[in-house]
Structure 1
């Protein structure tokens, strides 16, 4: 291990990748240069590294070993989106962070650090092996955090304060149903049944909370949260003391009750439509990606067929040139093959690539049209519903206004008939303030409904725009990769006279 703390540098990375670079060159028939993006494994253990840095070009990296360094913060990993194995054990890390881009990560080793809390790992849905031994984790709530890791197969937490507790083993087994190994223990049926029995009630409550959270999340994704039931109605009259004045009148109570019932019915309908539309949009999105994958598979099959035919021609050419006694004639034959057949190969591959591009762009346009129609339909339904809600509130306001005016007239006449209680008389003594408060409350309710409608429309349209933009961006990147693969392969064949086959 180096005696002095150090930072990552180009020389260090070149030394660490030298062996794999040589192997890649051999596989590629002597490829002159190897890019950082070609490297799949990187071992930088025992280097006294202080900071994770300059790894942004290692986009093909699958395995990263930073064991036994001086790293204090998890950072600089955003571009390593193909990483499946990460070892950061024996460092000085105090907080789990910086892992959001590692969606393919399966193995994570954070043992022997200074971590006291499990957090910021929601993106790691493919995590199957998590090692976090010999840290500072104390509470069983950290085990509950891991329940979001649906594929967690092995958990190694020995050496933490939490692992010394009597409930640690059964609690972990109960709340992590996919777990097969806990520390050094193989979880058998007997342990699983004992854990389930002991925490049966807590498991039921957890499942209930998860279901409620899932429902809330679905409503948010459908842009109709806080619209179900009386939520919107309650928000209109919440924190508005001015509404208390008319509400003290007995004639207003049934009007308010009617308004709540009618608004609740409309809101519930919009809520259910929103959920249904959301599910339809998700189905359309899955269908689109399925179609794109089918097109991609077809393209790969056609490409493989073209390359197989090229291989057959190359093999035949190699056999014929081998039978020639004159080496010059053999070289001429190889060159003639390269000059004639390789351009044909290039054209054939480009033709298939452009067919793929055309089919995928057509799929994108079809999807865009379909999803736009769905969003427009939902927007129209929402606008119609909110128009009805505003009409209901307007009618309520007019009726209440009429009752208030009649009351004010009675108050102005000094309540000659004695029909108005004294406390009501005092509330309605100032006619101007009562009328102003009534108008202000009405405008505030209308504004709240306008804002909620605008929020819904804005969010659903923004979602559609973001989805289409992401699809087009991914399409552009894939097209670039396809063309680059074809050009590299053909250039290699031209340089070698088609003598070697390189997989692209």
Structure 2
């Protein structure tokens, strides 16, 4: 059924609407203030004649969202709601299922009463348990097979779609979605399911075979992708083979032409150039992986030492606080009389508070100094690999230049031989001593010496540029990683220090407040 809003102006979710929703649906009083500040209430509902979803980025902790009975035409702007488990978009004007990829925790999805004609684009929603898409325009039973991939799906509502008019609808769904418990608000009984499975036995077996093959293929692809991601973290992706060498020639328009020159094919007849080039790349690949593992281990060791220092400081400060509390236990108790002894005790307590503050701040300053002594060498290791933390090297930096220089040397040698063959060929053509067939575009390179030399040099430049770019990419990524790592270490330490100083001040302020109250009582 469609809904008319002829007399109401369409809206976009804006700040005023969000504020109103938080005030109406969020917790009240102090908890309400926190909700407004953090924008993290668990459920929000809007029925404001909304046309477009927007401005929800601030509600990143939202778990339930209800946008039913609006005029929304497109699912969008939900990417930040990664904690959403329940989403109601029923009674809208949505035509395409989209924009849900980031909602990987979603368990309950309602798209009831929209204009959707195809079930699609739900692949990432593997936690889906309840799916309502009734009163839409789903036409074919085959489209419902798409839902087989959702192993947690137990409740499905398709009622009101054209597909439901098919006489085998219920049996088909029961057979192809064997884990389904409820279909169109009714329990799928075991007898019906068993009969359906028998009816579609052969088709399902064939489908399962195809699914098994597809799954095996996908597992291989996933493993390969996982491996590539690991190689990327070591900055050596696609160096374990001829990828770099092949790319040099693939992007070189002159290379194919120069292959027609007599003797060029003999330059690499035994694959000397290519095999040596690939061997260098593979050595670089293995070196990079070893350095990555070493680097990760040393960074982990750095953080282990760092955490040990923090824990030692924590234990020391805890002991200081325990000693203070034991020494001053009962100071605020006792007879409330105006005698000199009582005033002396309060003065001593005030002195102890000041002393405690000084000791705790001193411990914090010592810790900061200790970490500062560790951090500069840590930064230094990014260039020199000489930094130490408690005598332990903390970082092994990658150095690729010597290996890439070998690639450049090989390319230079190949270029010199190719240039020599090209000039010799030109001389034979000028003397009419060259009688081998040659394509017209290749023969055009031998108009004069400058033309052929320029062509060979252009080819050479492309190859060198490929090598240089790959080297720059490695170094840039390594430096970027190093800078980010150091920045995070500094940032975390600054935040920890500020938090610790604030904690000490708050505790000391609390003690002084108690002391002030005791003074008032005494007077």
What TM-score, normalized to structure 2? 0.68
| d(CA) in 2 for partners of 1:10, 1:146 | 30
Q: Which residue of 1 aligns with 2:261?
A: 249
Asked if the contact 2:101/2:125 (under 8 Å) is kept, the reply is no
Q: Which residue of 1 aligns with 2:145?
A: 167
| SS of residue paired to 2:45 | coil
| Per-residue CA distance 1:133-160 (angstroms, 9 max, x = gap) | 337788776443246xxxx6x6544447
Asked if the contact 1:67/1:88 (under 8 Å) is kept, the reply is yes
CA RMSD of the aligned region, Å? 4.4
Q: Which residue of 2 aligns with 1:145?
A: 124
| d(CA) in 2 for partners of 1:111, 1:439 | 64
Asked if the contact 1:95/1:116 (under 8 Å) is kept, the reply is yes
Matches within 5 A, 1:13-32: 19-20=29-30
Q: Which one of the candidate residues 379, 397, 420 is aligned to 1:368?
A: 379
Q: Which one of the candidate residues 430, 444, 456 is aligned to 1:412?
A: 430
Q: Which residue of 2 aligns with 1:448?
A: 466
Asked if the contact 2:79/2:100 (under 8 Å) is kept, the reply is no
Aligned length: 434
| d(CA) in 1 for partners of 2:346, 2:78 | 53
| d(CA) in 2 for partners of 1:301, 1:287 | 21
Label 1:492 to 1:436 Cα distance change in 2 as closer, same or farther (>3 A): same
Q: Which one of the candidate residues 402, 418, 438 is aligned to 1:384?
A: 402
| d(CA) in 1 for partners of 2:315, 2:132 | 49
Q: Which residue of 2 aligns with 1:25?
A: none
Asked if the contact 1:274/1:378 (under 8 Å) is kept, the reply is no
Check if 1:116 corresponds to 2:134: no
- Cα displacement (A) at 1:401: 1.4
Q: Which one of the candidate residues 63, 72, 80 is aligned to 1:86?
A: 63
Label 1:212 to 1:364 Cα distance change in 2 as closer, same or farther (>3 A): same
Check if 1:230 corresponds to 2:242: yes
What TM-score, normalized to structure 1? 0.70
Q: Which one of the candidate residues 213, 220, 243 is aligned to 2:232?
A: 220
Matches within 5 A, 1:36-47: 39=34, 42=35
Label 1:284 to 1:110 Cα distance change in 2 as closer, same or farther (>3 A): farther
- Cα displacement (A) at 1:388: 1.0
| d(CA) in 2 for partners of 1:279, 1:409 | 55
Label 1:229 to 1:12 Cα distance change in 2 as closer, same or farther (>3 A): closer
Larger Rg: 2
Asked if the contact 1:337/1:498 (under 8 Å) is kept, the reply is no
Check if 1:471 corresponds to 2:452: no
| d(CA) in 1 for partners of 2:346, 2:321 | 19
| SS of residue paired to 1:316 | coil
Asked if the contact 1:237/1:243 (under 8 Å) is kept, the reply is yes
- Cα displacement (A) at 1:12: 7.1
Q: Which residue of 1 aligns with 2:363?
A: 352
| d(CA) in 2 for partners of 1:376, 1:447 | 30
Q: Which residue of 2 aligns with 1:267?
A: 281
| SS of residue paired to 1:66 | strand
- Cα displacement (A) at 1:86: 3.5
- Cα displacement (A) at 1:389: 0.9
| d(CA) in 2 for partners of 1:282, 1:377 | 9
Q: Give the unaligned 5+ runs of structure 1.
A: 23-35, 43-54, 174-178, 185-189
| d(CA) in 2 for partners of 1:223, 1:245 | 34
